[in-house]
Amino acid sequence: MAQKKYEQSEFTVKDRRLFTSDGELRAEIAEEPEPPKPAPAPTPAAEQSVAATPAVPPATGKGEAGAEMPPLPTAAEQQAQVDAYQKSSKALDSQVELSGHSAKEFEMTFERFLASLYMTAMLQLGLMRQQGEQPHVDIIGARQTIDTLSLIAAKTKSNLTTTEENFLQNSLYELRMAYVEVTNALARPPQAGPAAGTGPRGK
């Protein structure tokens, strides 16, 4: 369908050279109409009227990809959501306590957040695996996770405790080293096995 549409379309290639191969001015160039003159500059009065008109911001902004962004929720809407979320969380904590566990074990802290990203990157590098599964290498995903930690380090600079900063920097160091080792291993050509007839013979 695309090829058919392309065949039906018409276009012309126009020679824009000023002179022929003999050095003469081409007749088409001499006969070309003059380009349209630019519109006259606005008068000072018009400029003042434009400047006096206040710019009205759009109701919705656009993200980096150009997609329309929804309007921000109001303060009342945000508070209502916070209250509803906390109520649901308390109900869940009660169920956890009844099961014999402490709800504190499942609270999200900054160190646990970093640890989850660290574990994700190690799984993506194939250096760790889920129980009962084979290691799987996702080198692009690993790089994105490591870059996420780097972004967190840049955005939280001078805003972390000593323990948090050490945990973050150590995690980044280990993951970057592991990433380099894995990418170097993947870049190596596969080693050839022993040639036929050269292996050990059974008795």
CB atoms within 10 A of CB 179: 19
- Asked whether residue 176 is domain-assigned, the answer is yes
CB atoms within 10 A of CB 110: 15
- Asked whether residue 57 is domain-assigned, the answer is no
Q: How many domains does the chain have?
A: 1
- Asked whether residue 30 is domain-assigned, the answer is no
Domain of residue 178: give its range. 108-187
> Could you give the CA distance from residue 109 to residue 148 in angstroms, rounded to a whole number?
17
pLDDT by residue for the chain (203 residues), tens only, comes to 544 544 444 544 455 555 555 555 555 544 555 555 555 555 554 444 444 444 444 445 565 656 788 889 999 999 999 999 999 988 888 888 888 888 888 888 999 999 999 999 999 999 988 888 888 899 999 999 999 999 999 999 999 999 999 999 999 999 999 999 999 998 888 776 655 555 555 44
- Asked whether residue 39 is domain-assigned, the answer is no
CA angle centred on 148, ends 145 and 152, rounded to 5°: 145
* In contact, 87 and 138? CB cutoff 8 Å: no
pTM score, whole prediction: 0.56
- Asked whether residue 193 is domain-assigned, the answer is no
What is the residue-wise DSSP string for 74-121?
A: PHHHHHHHHHHHHHHHHHHHHHHHHTT--GGGG---HHHHHHHHHHHH
What's the first-to-final CA gap in the chain, in angstroms? 68
- Asked whether residue 80 is domain-assigned, the answer is no
User: What residues contact residue 146 under an 8 Å CB cut-off, 6+ apart?
Assistant: 121, 172, 175, 176, 179
CB atoms within 10 A of CB 149: 20
- Asked whether residue 117 is domain-assigned, the answer is yes
**Confidence at residue 87, expressed as pLDDT on a 0 to 100 scale:** 92
Residue 127, beta-bridge partner list = none
